[in-house]
Structure 1
Amino acid sequence: MKKIAFIGAGAMAESLVKGILTAEQLPAEAIWLTNHANDERLEEMHHAYGVSVTRNQTDLLIDADVILLSMKPKDAEAAMAYLKESNLKPDQIIVSMLAGIPTSFLEEHLPEGQPVVRVMPNTSATILEAATAIAAGVHAGNREMQVVHELFHTVGAVVQVKEEDMDGVTAISGSGPAYLYYLMEALEEAGKQVGLEESVGKQLLIQTFIGAAKMLEQSELTPAQLRANITSAGGTTAAGISVLEEQGVKAAIQACVQAAAARSKEMGQAYTK
């Protein structure tokens, strides 16, 4: 890959820029950005990272191996019109980070045969620890998927999924950090209630989540098995778990994910015939 072009210069685009530069995949000048109207933001990105910024459509897109759609979903149709008049080459890969918008919608508004790949990273990309799912459009083959995999691997872990699974991906990893922060928020407040100083509680909370995640990553045991291993009959953990069961916390979390997946599907229906 010799050049990448971003249409949209928000937080996720910035995260990917940082990842690409950290991994030394491209020199800064080979990363090009534009946005709808915010010149100040483009200048900020140029000064912070040395990337190329432009309002010239030809300069942005010419010889770009990957064109990444990182604007807000509401601007998708305008972006499609912008691209359709741009004389795209058949081997230029369109990568969409537009939440809820299927590849079929993009393909309908692009030249016939244009490869499109849909991606769903999460906000942990800002610290290069994202969980990203990628899904191929009709015309995206192994080459295109390998390019996109390598690109998003610069900001974390990448998994390839079928596009019909993207609503579930959105509900689990896309929205998942918010659920975990919600749980952290509750635990932090509970720590204060049992007398822990805020700084102490926060430190313990952070390391507890890090340690639990690493245990799951490095062990062959399931979450249920790991939980059982520290839940002694009649012990403190068992006392806490019993309250969670009585309050229906597991069912609430499952309903939370189902609601997010349903909303993702609903958003996507606006872009399907």
Structure 2
Amino acid sequence: MKKIAFVGAGAMAEALVKGLIAAEHLPAKGIWLTNHANDARLQELHAAYGVTITRNQTDLLKDADVIILSMKPKDAEAALSSLKSANLNSKQIVVSILAGIHTSFLESYLPSNQPVVRAMPNTSATILEAATAVAAGVHAGSEDMKVVSSLFKTVGEAVEVEEEAMDAVTAISGSGPAYLYYMMEALEEASSQVGLDESVSKQLLIQTFKGAAKMLEQSDLTPAQLRANITSAGGTTAAGISVLEEQGVKAAIQACVKAAAARSKEMGQAFSK
């Protein structure tokens, strides 16, 4: 791959840019970016990463192997309208990382044979630890999916799913880091309340999260079984878990995910043809 073009230069685009460069997927100068109107933002990214920035759409799209739509969803129609007359060819893969927007909506603006792939990464791409799901549009073949999957695998793990699953993916892995940060925030505050030094609690909590994730990754046991293994009757863990159950924390987490999935679906309904 020699060139990737980003249409949109927000936080997720920057996370992918940083990850792609760190993974040496292609030279920084082969990563091109534009956005709607924020020149200062483009200059900031150029200074930080050495990427190519432009306001010329012809230059942006020329010879781009992959075109990544990473603008805000509210700007999607305007961006797609400009792409409609851009003379894209069928070898150029259009990848959308826009939450809630279906490939059918994107395809309605593009040439009839344009390969379109929908992807949902998360911001852990910045440290090459993203969890990304990719779903094929009507004209995206197996080779197109290999290219897109390999791109996102440079910044973490990538799995192929049917598009019908993308609202759920958005709610789980797309928004998931925020849920975990929220939990970490609560644990840090609780650590202070029980008398633990802030720097010590942060160090312990980070390693605890890392260790728990590795245990789940390397074990054949379910999360419920791993939890049971360290929850002795009458012990400290049991005391804590009983409060979580009394407070309905599991139900709250489930409701959180359902709300996020519903919002993703709602956003998609606003972009339907």
Q: Which residue in 2 is equivalent to 1:18? A: 18
1:32 is matched with which residue?
Answer: 32
Kindly report the root-mean-square deviation, in angstroms, between the aligned alpha carbons of the 2 structures.
1.2
Alignment of 1:1-273 (within 5 A): 1-273=1-273
Paired-residue identity, %: 79
Greater CA deviation, 190-199 or 226-235?
A: 190-199
Which blocks of at least 5 consecutive residues in structure 2 are unaligned? Answer: none
- How far apart are residue 47 of structure 1 and its match? 2.3
Shift of 1:92: 0.7
Q: Deviations over 1:210-254 (max 9, x none)?
A: 110111111111100100110111111111111111221111111
- Matched-pair contact (CA < 8 Å) for 1:15–1:155: no
Deviation at 1:207, TM superposition (A): 1.0
| TM-score, with length taken from structure 2 | 0.96
Give how far 1:173 is off: 0.9
Structure 1 residue runs of 5 or longer lacking an equivalent are none
How far has the Cα of 1:259 moved from its partner?
1.1
Contact 1:135 1:163 in 2 (8 A): yes
User: Structure 1 stretches (4+) deviating beyond 6 angstroms?
Assistant: none
The TM-score normalised by the length of structure 1 is 0.96
SS at 1:209's partner residue? helix
Amino acid at match of 2:134: I
AA aligned to 2:145 is M
Q: Give the aligned residue type for 2:112.
A: E
Worse-matched range after superposition: 166-175 or 180-189: 180-189
C-alpha distance in structure 2 between counterparts of 1:266 and 1:243, whole Å: 34
Q: Measure, in 2, the Cα distance between the counterparts of 1:127 and 1:144.
A: 25
CA distance in 1, matches of 2:175, 2:55: 33
